[in-house]
């Protein structure tokens, strides 16, 4: 199964100001979420961003917020976006494929991903765009999600599958702006 930009949405889970500094390789996670958001915007893939209790954890990290022009924001207090119900009526709800990035991999991301999978969604977890405070927690959650049929991918896999082919002006733009030297 390949990712298809016409069937996909991008869900960025809880990349928030007060949580991000505690995440192992948090700046890499942030940079890769920004990159994915830019590719999604260029390819017209809708983006949904969740925020876990923003009064306590703060808003989405400012650099990511700046890259999310057309994104839809949802707030939650459950760890899982699905359990919270905050995805109802969003593009994540409407589309068959969900590409997921964010934090923490072993808590909010994993609970959301597993419940999306149980709803019958095709779920793609972007390994280089998810993080946890402890690397072991991230590794354990990746193994668990794989065991439940979640496709673990990289950001470049997402871009190339969404693009499908190279002989287009759109490919040249994305290659120039996102893939080369990034």
pLDDT, one tens digit per residue, over 36-49 is: 999 999 999 999 99
* Beta strand residue intervals within 45-143, DSSP E: 47-52, 72-76, 97-103, 122-131
84 in a structural domain: yes
Angle at 80 between CA 51 and CA 4, to 5 degrees: 85
pLDDT of residue 177: 83
Identify whether 60 is part of a domain.
yes
3 within domain boundaries:
no
> Is 2 within the bounds of a domain?
no
153 within a domain of the structure (yes/no): yes
Q: How many CB atoms lie within 10 A of CB 58?
A: 15
Rounded to an integer, the average pLDDT of 57-70 is 93
DSSP code of 89? Answer: T
3-state secondary structure of 14: coil
CA nearest neighbour of 149 among 112, 174, 124 = 124
- pLDDT over 80 (residue 53): yes
Look up the pTM and report it.
0.96
Q: What is the pLDDT of residues 127-168, one digit of tens each?
A: 999 999 999 999 999 999 999 999 999 999 999 999 999 988
- For residue 54, the domain's CATH number is 3.40.50.850
Residue 182 has pLDDT above 70, yes or no: no
Backbone angles phi, psi at 147, to 5 degrees: -65, -20
Average pLDDT over residues 8-26: 97
The pLDDT tens digits of the residues spanning 68-109 come to: 988 999 999 999 999 999 999 999 999 999 999 999 999 999
Task: Report pLDDT for 180.
Answer: 81
Domain tally, the chain: 1
85 found inside a domain = yes
Helix (H, G, I), strand (E, B) or coil at 60: strand
For residue 78, the enclosing domain spans 8-179
Q: Is residue 1 part of a domain?
A: no
Q: Which residue has 């007060």 as its token pair?
A: 18
CA distance 14 to 129: 12
Decide if 129 contacts 104 (C-beta within 8 A): no
Residue 90 included in any domain: yes
């Amino acid at each position: 199964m390949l990712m298809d930009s016409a069937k996909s949405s991008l869900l960025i889970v809880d990349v928030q100001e007060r949580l991000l500094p505690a995440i192992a390789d948090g700046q890499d996670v942030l940079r890769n979420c920004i990159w994915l958001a830019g590719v999604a915007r260029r390819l017209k893939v809708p983006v949904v961003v969740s925020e876990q209790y923003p009064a306590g954890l703060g808003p989405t990290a400012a650099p990511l917020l700046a890259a999310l022009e057309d994104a839809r924001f949802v707030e939650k207090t459950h760890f899982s976006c699905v359990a919270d119900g905050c995805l109802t009526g969003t593009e994540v709800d409407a589309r068959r494929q969900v590409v997921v990035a964010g934090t923490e991999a072993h808590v909010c991301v994993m609970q959301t991903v597993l419940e999306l999978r149980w709803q019958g969604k095709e779920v793609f977890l972007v390994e280089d765009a998810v993080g946890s405070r402890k690397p072991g927690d991230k590794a354990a959650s990746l193994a668990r999600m794989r065991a439940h049929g979640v496709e673990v991918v990289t950001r470049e896999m997402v871009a190339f599958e969404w693009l499908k082919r190279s002989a287009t002006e759109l490919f040249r733009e994305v290659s120039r702006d996102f893939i080369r030297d990034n």
